[in-house]
Amino acid sequence: MQGANSHSDRRLAVLRAIVEDYVSTHEPVGSKALVERHGLGVSPATVRNDMAALEDEGYISQPHTSAGRVPTDKGYRLFVDRLATVRPMTSGEKRAITTFLDGAVDLDDVVHRSVRLLSQLTRQVAVVQYPTLTRSTVRHIELVEVAPTRLLVVLILSTGRVEQRLIETTAPVAVDDLAAMRAWVNAATEGRTIPDAAIGLQHIPASPIAAPVVTTILEALSDERGGQRVAVAGASNLARYGDSFDTAVRPLLEALEEHVVLLTLLGEQAAGDSVTVRIGTEGPVQELAATSVVAAGYGPGADSVAALGVVGPTRMDYSSAMGSVHAVARYLSRILDGN
């Protein structure tokens, strides 16, 4: 934003007020309303001059049917980049997230609880990508005798994913043989990435049950269902944007049917505390140029094994969305980390 610091600070305050009012009221914002609702400390004439300058610089625009102004993509971008604070979770919201997610029984449950929670917190369409299998490590493999000639293989990955497979053996398995195989399998795989674990399994000593156990575990490790799957919730929230149906809602509803498009929208996310915001035309999908995405990566430790976020028309509450996305990603990472 051009101009002296005092002018820039005041115009940023005016822009912030326009964005907040437009998100709240869904109506173009006029100078009189800004003066009445916000303590800007200047006259209506000064606010009008600031609005004219903001419009000249492309941060706001004037719809033909109104004397008020609305933010442009450039205006939203400046607003997001200059956000002094992302709205923090209240203690009640934090408790709700913890209670809701800690009650999950497996990875599918975690993902579906997370996506429902995120849509409720933000009142947007929420998208949660399943963890990518190839970036997981093996946490533990259990071998359990369920019948004299039947074994259950339980594979537990760092992402919280659990795979179960049954093996039929040609003869009953001795207790000592089963214990030895369990020890060998875990020594070859625990803490290793999927490719390294697969290599380690090739060196397991030969025994009557080695071949079927190794083959079954390799099949489970190579299951590529993760990563390309997403869970979606909150499509009904788009009803709040009826006035933007043709430009924003219809294309987004169509995109919800295409998981590849949703994965493209989420993009590659880094783990940690970073939240990515892509506004309007900044996004990778031309048909969704009236849509914004707030996303973050999640995963155990410092790793990002998948992404989650919210998608909606550019007229969204960015501060709240960024806070919610960050909080849910952090809690989800904690669950996957086993903490």
Residues 291 and 142 grouped into a single domain: no
Residues 172 and 246 in one domain: no
232, 324: one domain: yes
Residues 207, 158 within the same domain: yes
Is 10 within the bounds of a domain? Answer: yes
Residue 282 lies in a domain: yes
pLDDT digits (tens, 9 = 90+) for 45-62: 899 999 999 999 999 999
Split into its structural domains, the chain has a count of: 3
**Range(s) of the domain holding residue 48:** 5-81
Instruction: Identify whether residues 242 and 124 lie together within a single domain.
Output: yes
pLDDT in tens, 242-284: 777 787 888 888 888 888 888 888 887 666 668 999 999 998 8
Residue 76: inside a domain, yes or no?
A: yes
Residues in the chain: 339
172 plus 279 within the same structural domain? no
pLDDT the model gives residue 3: 46
CATH number of the domain that residue 56 is part of: 1.10.10.10
Helix (H, G, I), strand (E, B) or coil at 333: helix
Residue that is last in its domain, among 221, 251, 275? 221
Tell me the sheet residues that pair with 258: none
Q: Are residues 199 and 278 in the same domain?
A: no
Contact yes or no for 150/169 (Cβ under 8 A)? yes
110 with 158, same domain: the answer is: no
Identify the pLDDT of residue 339. Answer: 54
Same domain, 73 and 106: no
Task: For the chain, list residues with pLDDT below 50.
Answer: 2-4
- What is the DSSP annotation of 206-247? P-TTHHHHHHHHHHHHT---SSS-EEEE-GGGGGGGGGGIII
Cβ-based neighbours of 212, under 8 Å, separated by 6 or more: 167, 168, 169
Is residue 187 assigned to a domain? yes
Indicate which CATH number applies to the domain containing 121: 3.30.450.40
- Asked, for residue 273, whether it belongs to a domain, the answer is yes
Together in a domain, 313 and 231: yes
What CATH number did the domain enclosing 197 receive?
Answer: 3.30.390.60
Q: What is the pTM of this model?
A: 0.75
In a domain, 86, yes or no: no
Question: Residue 222's beta-bridge partner residues?
Answer: none
Question: How many angstroms separate the CA atoms of 297 and 276, rounded?
Answer: 9
CA distance 294 to 286: 17
Q: State which of 189, 221, 253 marks the end of a domain.
A: 221
pLDDT of residue 40: 80
Rounded to the nearest integer, the mean pLDDT of the chain is 86
One domain for residues 231 and 327: yes
Q: Are residues 126 and 144 in the same domain?
A: no
Residues 241 and 313 sit within 8 Å (Cβ to Cβ) = yes
What is residue 166's predicted lDDT score, i.e. its pLDDT? 92
Domain boundary among 196, 221, 246: 221
Percentage with pLDDT > 70 across the chain: 92
Which residue is listed with tokens 């007229």? 315
